[in-house]
Amino acid sequence: MATLLQLWNDWELQALVLLSFILQVFLFFSGGLRRHSTNGGLRLLIWLAYLMADFVAVYTLGQLSRQKTDATRLGEPHQLTFLWTPFLLIHLGGQDTVTAFSVEDNELWLRHLLNLLTQVGLALYVFWKSAAHSWFLASAIFAFVAGIIKYGERIWALKSASQKALRSSTKSVIDQFPELEEDEQELGYFTMVKFALSTSPGVRNVFVGRKLEQMEVDIQAAFTGSQMGKNIQGAFICLSIYNENQNGELVFKVIEIEQGIMYENLYTKAMVLRTWAGAMLRCVTLISLVVAFALFVADNKRWHRHSRIDVAVTLTLVTGAFCLEICAVVVMVLASPWTWAILRSCKCRKLSRAAWCIFKSVRPESRPLWSNSMGQYNFISSCFSDSVVGKLMSLVGAKQLWRNFLHTKYVDVKPDMKKLLFEDQCFQAVFGTSISPGLCANPTSGVGSALDIMLRKPFEEAILSLHIYTDIFLYRCKNPTGATSCEYTDEKRLLMHRCRTLSEYVCYLLVVHPEMLPVSGSVTDVLQKASDTVATASQPGLRLQPRINFWRSWQRTVTVIA
Q: Are residues 143 and 6 in the same domain?
A: yes
User: According to the model, what pLDDT value does residue 443 have?
Assistant: 35
Output the average pLDDT for the chain: 77
Q: Are residues 421 and 522 in the same domain?
A: yes
DSSP 179: P
Separation CA 196–CA 389 (nearest Å): 46
Asked whether residue 391 is domain-assigned, the answer is yes
Q: Are residues 49 and 115 in the same domain?
A: yes
Which domain range does residue 203 map to? 177-267+336-362
Asked whether residue 368 is domain-assigned, the answer is no
Burial 146-157 (b: 16+ CB within 10 A, else e): bbbbbbbbbbbb
Q: Are residues 538 and 432 in the same domain?
A: yes
User: According to the model, what pLDDT value does residue 521 have?
Assistant: 65
Percent of the chain at pLDDT exceeding 70? 69
Q: Are residues 423 and 534 in the same domain?
A: yes
Do residues 177 and 198 touch, judged by C-beta distance below 8 A?
Answer: yes
pTM for this one?
0.81
Asked whether residue 169 is domain-assigned, the answer is no
| DSSP calls for 18-72 | HHHHHHHHHHHHHGGGGGG---HHHHHHHHHHHHHHHHHHHHHHHHHHT--SS--
Asked whether residue 167 is domain-assigned, the answer is no
Separation CA 438–CA 416 (nearest Å): 27
| Model confidence pLDDT, tens digit, residues 329-377 | 998 888 888 888 888 877 788 888 888 888 888 888 888 888 889 999 9
| Model confidence pLDDT, tens digit, residues 64-77 | 888 765 544 444 44
268 has a pLDDT exceeding 90 = yes
Q: Which of 42-51, 180-189, 239-248 has the lowest mean pLDDT?
A: 239-248
Separation CA 379–CA 366 (nearest Å): 35
Strand partners, 409: 376
Strand partners, 373: 412
Helix then strand count (H, E) for the chain reads: 26, 2
| Model confidence pLDDT, tens digit, residues 425-449 | 554 554 444 434 443 444 334 445 6
Separation CA 467–CA 473 (nearest Å): 10
Q: Are residues 401 and 546 in the same domain?
A: yes
| Alpha helices in 346-446, H assignment, sequence order | 349-362, 379-384, 388-395, 399-407, 415-422, 425-431
Residues in the chain: 562
Q: Are residues 403 and 381 in the same domain?
A: yes
Do residues 174 and 226 touch, judged by C-beta distance below 8 A?
Answer: yes
Total structural domains within the chain: 3
Q: Are residues 149 and 298 in the same domain?
A: yes
Asked whether residue 300 is domain-assigned, the answer is yes
Q: Are residues 252 and 296 in the same domain?
A: no
Asked whether residue 280 is domain-assigned, the answer is yes
Q: Are residues 485 and 401 in the same domain?
A: yes
| Model confidence pLDDT, tens digit, residues 123-170 | 888 888 776 656 678 888 899 999 999 999 999 999 999 888 887 766
Residues 6+ apart with CB under 8 A from 555: 444, 465
User: According to the model, what pLDDT value does residue 442 have?
Assistant: 40
Q: Are residues 529 and 408 in the same domain?
A: yes
| Model confidence pLDDT, tens digit, residues 272-302 | 998 899 999 999 999 999 999 998 888 777 6
* Mean pLDDT of the 477-494 span: 66
Asked whether residue 484 is domain-assigned, the answer is yes
User: According to the model, what pLDDT value does residue 176 have?
Assistant: 52
Asked whether residue 344 is domain-assigned, the answer is yes
Do residues 35 and 263 touch, judged by C-beta distance below 8 A?
Answer: yes
Sign of CA dihedral 50, 56, 59, 61: negative
Q: Are residues 263 and 278 in the same domain?
A: no
